[in-house]
Structure 1
Amino acid sequence: MIDIRYVRENPEAVRASQRARGADEALVDRLLSADEARRSTLQIAEETRAQQKALSRTVGKASPEERPAILADAQALAAKVKELEESASAANAEYEQIAMSIANIIIDGVPAGGEDDFTVLKHVGDVPEFDFPVKDHLDLAEGIGGLDMARGTKVSGSRFYYLTGIGARLELALLTAAADLAEANGFTLTVTPTLVKPEIMGGTGFLGAHSDEIYHLEQDDLYLVGTSEVALAGYHSGEIIDLSEGPKRYAGWSTCYRREAGSYGKDTRGIIRVHQFNKVEMFSYCTPAEAEDEHARLLDFEEQMLAKVELPYRVIDTAAGDLGSSAARKFDCEAWLPSQERWMEVTSTSNCTTFQARRLGVRERVDGKTQIVATLNGTLATTRWLVAILENHQREDGSIYVPEGLRPYLGGRELIATT
């Protein structure tokens, strides 16, 4: 949720953010009107309640002749107070509904526009050139006995799979390397819940425009997370945390679930877009003043992981219209996908400023007063990375070169042979 004080003082900046996102800027004026209505109605209700209490205190001092009239007036005021409180409650509900529908205010410099309007910040590594026909990750994974899509579909339906043998070991190696890198940089490793309450899912901003991506267990009123960001954002909900020694950093290892609604016919082959996958996610709580520097640190950690697995990649500054509602800025790292000759997102890191923490009530104490903290998140490794690792490191015979950064987690193995 955005800071209403900021909106009151900087309405045009919020309108500009909405325009850059391609969102409805009229919501800003509606929010300001609703804010004024709720405040004025509440003020009148409080003034009337004070009048009613003051009048009630005079009953004992009134004469028997005056008392009935005073009681009648007090009762009328009490009824008026109730009516005004109901109006104030309705005005506040309208205010909250509008406030919840406005996305986070983008940071200066974020490109305006939609999915294709990103800015490329840099390229790292050389795109591989092959002197033999390139295989895609599915053929390669099946060739080394690492993936079984057919039985995944038989058991669970389309976009499910089994990682088998070396495929399972390769994913564990990747995620363990990510966990080690996180711990070495001060992150507390956590295995997080994958079912969360509605207030936690909503608090992170995932129940808005993209709620159709989320699995909901109606009988239990719980949501399956699409990222451990959700559980980690809720970890300190309703708390006052101590940031005097720097950011609180967590790395969440979890299974993630996404419905992939709206992506029918897109990347249906293999494991690029699937309903279930594993991920190590970074999450940071810091002061608002530290947020942009922390964002740069999270991006650096992601790039360190990409260096470990020796992938060519580019970093993009995502356009405003392609940001989630919680993100004020997002950097994506996209690895080269040889079989499709395109860039494929493998990591993203978002600066959510105070948007999530305000919804979830996460604060810090500064000079005796509390203030909302900032939250950030970033992917450190996920199942999808296997796609890029297999394709970029393939050999002509279908075997796979093992990047040096993963070898300690695979018993020193330098090559994965075909079965």
Structure 2
Amino acid sequence: MIDPKWLRTDPDRVRRSQAARGASVELVDELIAADEARRAAIVAFETRRAEQKNLGRDVAKAKGDERAVLLERTKQLAVDVKTAQADADAAEAAFTDLMKQVGNLVLDGVPEGGEDDGVVLETVGAPRDFAAEGFAPRDHLEIGELLGAIDMERGTKISGSRFYVLTGVGAQLEMALLNLAMSKAAEWGFTPMIPPALVKPSAMEGTGFLGQAAQDVYHLPADDLYLVGTSEVALAAYHADEILEADTLPRQYVAYSPCFRREAGSYGKDTRGIFRVHWFDKVEMFVHCAPEDAEAWHDRLLGYEKDFLTALEIPFQVLDVASGDLGLSAARKFDCYAWLPTQQRYREVTSTSNCTEFQARRLQIRARFADGVRPVATLNGTLCAMTRIIIMLLENHQLADGSVRVPEALRPYLGGREVLALS
């Protein structure tokens, strides 16, 4: 959540951020009122509690009728203190509930608008001219079926629509991507992790995925656990309720995990193949750092994502995501969109978000800095969302006969193979 001080010192900044997100501006006024009510209730409780303590000392000294009167007063005051405590707790809960609805403060420079208003910052690589090569590109599913790499029919039979099975060279391709991604991340100083894919509500809420994104999350009511849509959730909650030493920052983690998404609201979109599915595996980077270092780390994470896509020889664009398309926790977000030949457009394959102190405040992750104990900043970045990267490899590196050229960086992880040949 945001720092409450902004409500008192610069509420217009919070209003501007809410407006940029396309979210409720009126919520800010409700919060200001709730904050005032909360503080007033705390003062009322503390006043009565202090009176109760003072009265206790007076009773100890009093005798006779005076003592009897004071004892009678202590009974009433005990009721008043209990009532004031309940009022303060209720006011705190009301304030906290409203605070959880406010998105992170959008950073200066983020383009305004919705999903279609992101700004392209750069284009890396050039799409192939298949016409000049004398053939029309096949889509990833046709290539995957020719290679014996993707089985949608049996995936649907096992689990339903939007499920798949990677078979043969398809499974080998994911393992190769995993090893390449983890090797690169290790070179960049990240600690490899394999965290749980099932998390408590506190972890999901703490990372901001039970607000606007709740409809896209799988919940197991019998156990009150959630299936994560990204290992960001587990990596953020890894240090929940901890105070870290400043000299141990940044903490850099990279995780491999399954990810589960209901894809609510995507009916009819990308129904062919493995672009938009309910389950996929992903390699995710995560950083806990000093807040003043967050923007530099955001640029660094984007650089790592660009390096990975460049190593795979996939043309892509970098997008500065518009304010109305940011998740609840993100103050700024960069996406990489890779070229998809059969759709003749760029499609999202990676993203990196600067969540500033927002998640750390919700999860109580702090560090002991020279100026005191305060929240850290958290950032996340997708290094390799397996299904989408496999799509881009199959389509961008396909050959006329349906086989696929293996990028040089990936060959050591595929036994030196230069081409994925037809089965």
TM-score (norm: length of structure 2): 0.98
Matched residue, 1:390: 394
Q: Does 1:186 align with 2:189?
A: yes
Superposition deviation, residue 56 in structure 1 = 2.3
5+ residue gaps, structure 2, are none
SS at match of 1:339: helix
Superposition deviation, residue 284 in structure 1 = 0.3
Matched residue, 2:144: 141
Q: Does 1:38 align with 2:35?
A: no
**In structure 2, what is the Cα distance between the partners aligned to 1:242 and 1:395?**
53
Q: Does 1:291 align with 2:323?
A: no
Matched residue, 1:249: 252
Instruction: For 1:363-374, list aligned pairs within 5 A.
Output: 363-367=366-370, 369-374=372-377
Matched residue, 1:300: 303
Matched residue, 2:328: 325
Superposition deviation, residue 133 in structure 1 = 1.8
Instruction: For 1:149-160, list aligned pairs within 5 A.
Output: 149-160=152-163
Q: Does 1:219 align with 2:222?
A: yes
Aligned match for 1:405, one of 399, 404, 409: 409
Superposition deviation, residue 367 in structure 1 = 2.3
Q: Is 363-372 or 114-123 further displaced after alignment?
A: 363-372
Deviations 1:330-361 (A, max 9, x none): 00000011111111100000000000011111
SS at match of 2:281: strand
SS at match of 1:109: coil
CA-atom RMSD, angstroms?
A: 1.0
Write the letter of the residue equivalent to 2:369.
V
- Stretches of 4+ moved more than 4 A in 1? none
**In structure 2, what is the Cα distance between the partners aligned to 1:379 and 1:385?**
11
Deviations 1:387-414 (A, max 9, x none): 1111111111111011111011011111
Q: Does 1:348 align with 2:337?
A: no
**In structure 2, what is the Cα distance between the partners aligned to 1:203 and 1:170?**
34
**In structure 2, what is the Cα distance between the partners aligned to 1:161 and 1:320?**
34
Q: Does 1:265 align with 2:303?
A: no
Superposition deviation, residue 175 in structure 1 = 1.5
Write the letter of the residue equivalent to 1:379.
T
Deviations 1:51-95 (A, max 9, x none): 122112212322312222211112111111111111111111110
Deviations 1:177-201 (A, max 9, x none): 0100000010000111100000011
Counterpart contact for 1:175–1:382, Cα < 8 Å: no
Instruction: For 1:55-66, list aligned pairs within 5 A.
Output: 55-66=55-66
Q: Does 1:163 align with 2:166?
A: yes
Q: Does 1:52 align with 2:47?
A: no
Structure 1 residues 147 and 40, CA gap change in structure 2 (3 angstroms): same
Counterpart contact for 1:313–1:336, Cα < 8 Å: yes
Aligned match for 2:207, one of 197, 204, 209: 204
Counterpart contact for 1:144–1:418, Cα < 8 Å: yes
**In structure 2, what is the Cα distance between the partners aligned to 1:243 and 1:265?**
48
Counterpart contact for 2:246–2:369, Cα < 8 Å: no
Q: Does 1:381 align with 2:405?
A: no
SS at match of 1:116: helix
Counterpart contact for 2:6–2:13, Cα < 8 Å: no
Matched residue, 1:418: 422
SS at match of 1:371: strand
**In structure 1, what is the Cα distance between the partners aligned to 2:193 and 2:53?**
53
5+ residue gaps, structure 1, are none
Write the letter of the residue equivalent to 1:79.
V
Instruction: For 1:94-109, list aligned pairs within 5 A.
Output: 94-109=94-109
Q: Is 57-66 or 80-89 further displaced after alignment?
A: 57-66
Write the letter of the residue equivalent to 2:10.
N
SS at match of 2:130: coil
**In structure 2, what is the Cα distance between the partners aligned to 1:107 and 1:328?**
5
Write the letter of the residue equivalent to 1:396.
A
SS at match of 1:376: strand
Matched residue, 1:25: 25
**In structure 2, what is the Cα distance between the partners aligned to 1:288 and 1:387?**
36
**In structure 1, what is the Cα distance between the partners aligned to 2:7 and 2:406?**
52
Counterpart contact for 2:245–2:369, Cα < 8 Å: no
Write the letter of the residue equivalent to 2:109.
G
**In structure 1, what is the Cα distance between the partners aligned to 2:120 and 2:149?**
34
SS at match of 2:236: helix
Superposition deviation, residue 368 in structure 1 = 6.4
Write the letter of the residue equivalent to 1:186.
G
Identity fraction in percent: 55
TM-score (norm: length of structure 1): 0.98
